[in-house]
Structure 1
């Protein structure tokens, strides 16, 4: 029971401790920008945050004065493991995918992108995301990442670790509502991002009947004289030969559900799986990979190719810089410890003098 006097202690909270510290092992991410970027890139950042939901900071507000160290300090307290950072130069727009807190860092050049509004404007029947679709992370699908090259393995591991792992034996199908597809083009080291919404529709129903069964939406019955016109016809007395397979796609897309998906799609029913692109689209050219957080040894560079001697020299220089940094950090920690110890000794001396004065005053 809360105390009746003094400050009341909370006995019920709405935020779980696991969300604050990230101790549950779920990867979390930031999507931020540094400096001035084009207006379209700002909208792209907001849509990327939506695609990475729910384990991302959807309403993060950054300033131009924020530095990389500011984000690193906040990320450690919130359990953030990955950060996407966009910046613009005279040469173009760049995106860095950083694994916190020690790296590596993958630097991409934004070749082209499309926002959700542009994609939906070209669709005949666009499907919008609802709040239930964003409560679970998307299903990550990696395509053409089978090459055993060092930079391909690093990129594959970085993308896989951005999202929680899925156990196919225990996962609930109703929670998988989105797909994030990443395709790798080996010719120009380019990554293509696509974001889809999963639609599950029953097989063997016309569009009007499907609306009635799935959405509980009663169609217009004006001008119909028989129920067959609703089931098989177009509403004007003309029957559709392919009304049962309208919008169902090929036979490869027909599946038998192994478990219930919501209240309307029961286990064992025949349904068709349809992917509707939600956006955004991205095409990113992999430029380089660094060992640390925006620093350290360059593990891969798409434009600069070093021979063995130069590569070993660069690696030695990076090791030397890392060693100097560790030595400087050790000296700083030692100085802070000595300063703290000196302050404690000073406080102890003050306490003893104060106690001595009090004893003299009592005598």
Structure 2
């Protein structure tokens, strides 16, 4: 028999590193086609540590919470589309915190590609390695004065696997996920890039040959020497990007190349609205539009503790009822088994004796 095919984006539960962050990304409620497309594009950002083809429409949050430890899932990201717009909740299994974001604007991947002059053709290898996460402007003095910024930084960093500089190969670095904090508007801009490497010190014609593209007016040249001996042979053909020396080969480049970031989408603008200390609930730690006095905060904390205590009490009572009913069922089965054994013993001793079900010789 042939080897079973592994679907792209499937989380490998046999992975030795159980500490690698993994995300379940779903939507809830009535959402439009654009929000569904955004969810699928957002799943692609977290590949290979997210499931591209997950169908969780009929599963509750308790179901995901129950399987999180089995599959070593660290985060649940939930898209919703209430009346005021699109929202996303980022929840950490199993005890929180939960961050509530409002998606002020977003651009889908196919919309970004449609505006590009030369869109990139990405192969499967691009999605087999997690992206490098870059946090920009989170250490700005104005940003540090905000109490929610350290939690934002820790959350975004914790959703992606850490990179071991000593072990990672340059060829494994394919994508970059950028989180930029706007310290003026207090928004988070999200961008997703593909790392493109360009040759350094070659003419435009030679670069096209290296990229397997056909240069224009190539038929007017008599030999390849006409290309190599042109005046612009060592001119820089790209106005953007930065030349970097390579400690190890990067794709087809050996010593030096020019790095350029090519946006592949999606693009999001997020506004943090609320933070709670539990999974999908709990005490409110931060709220953008509501401020409470210390007395109100203390009263809210007491209410949260009371609700948790009552919930734990109800759960204990339910568990006790389940155990009691299970014990009663087992006791009935044991009594029934003893009666059956006693009946069979009596039939064996007196096979012609009449019992409740008839003659002993005719009883089963």
TM (norm. structure 1) is 0.85
Give runs of aligned pairs for residues 39-188 of structure 1, distance below 5 A.
39-63=33-57, 66-146=59-139, 147=144, 149-188=146-185
Q: Considering only CA atoms, is the larger Rg found in Structure 1 or Structure 2?
A: 2
CA contact (8 A) 1:97 1:105 kept: yes
Task: After TM superposition, give the deviation of residue 192 of structure 1 in Å.
Answer: 0.8
Give runs of aligned pairs for residues 221-300 of structure 1, distance below 5 A.
221-231=218-228, 241=232, 244-247=235-238, 249=240, 253-262=242-251, 264-266=252-254, 269-300=255-286
Q: Distance in 2 between matches of 1:77 and 1:279?
A: 31
Q: Distance in 1 between matches of 2:347 and 2:158?
A: 67
Structure 2: gaps (5+ residues): 350-364
Task: After TM superposition, give the deviation of residue 232 of structure 1 in Å.
Answer: 6.1
Render the CA deviation track for 1:130-157: whole Å, top value 9, x for unaligned: 2100001110111122326442222222
Render the CA deviation track for 1:221-267: whole Å, top value 9, x for unaligned: 3221242443366xxxxx6x4763102635xx1111111234x223x
Structure 1: gaps (5+ residues): 1-9, 234-238
Distance 1:349 1:19, change over 3 A: farther
Q: Distance in 2 between matches of 1:211 and 1:350?
A: 85
Render the CA deviation track for 1:339-362: whole Å, top value 9, x for unaligned: 222222222222322332333333
Give the secondary structure class of the aligned counterpart of 1:31. Answer: strand
Distance 1:231 1:338, change over 3 A: farther
Which moved further from structure 2: 353-362 or 128-137?
A: 353-362
Distance 1:350 1:232, change over 3 A: farther
Q: How many residues are aligned here?
A: 339
Render the CA deviation track for 1:188-207: whole Å, top value 9, x for unaligned: 33111000000122211223
Give the secondary structure class of the aligned counterpart of 2:117. Answer: coil
Q: Distance in 1 between matches of 2:228 and 2:335?
A: 93
Q: Distance in 2 between matches of 1:270 and 1:196?
A: 21
| RMSD over equivalenced CA pairs, Å | 2.6
TM (norm. structure 2) is 0.84
Q: Distance in 1 between matches of 2:233 and 2:42?
A: 39
Residue of structure 2 equivalent to 1:338: 324
Give the secondary structure class of the aligned counterpart of 1:222. Answer: helix
Give the secondary structure class of the aligned counterpart of 2:148. Answer: helix
Give the secondary structure class of the aligned counterpart of 1:97. Answer: strand
Residue of structure 2 equivalent to 1:3: none
Q: Distance in 1 between matches of 2:326 and 2:14?
A: 28
Task: After TM superposition, give the deviation of residue 334 of structure 1 in Å.
Answer: 2.0
Q: Distance in 2 between matches of 1:257 and 1:358?
A: 85
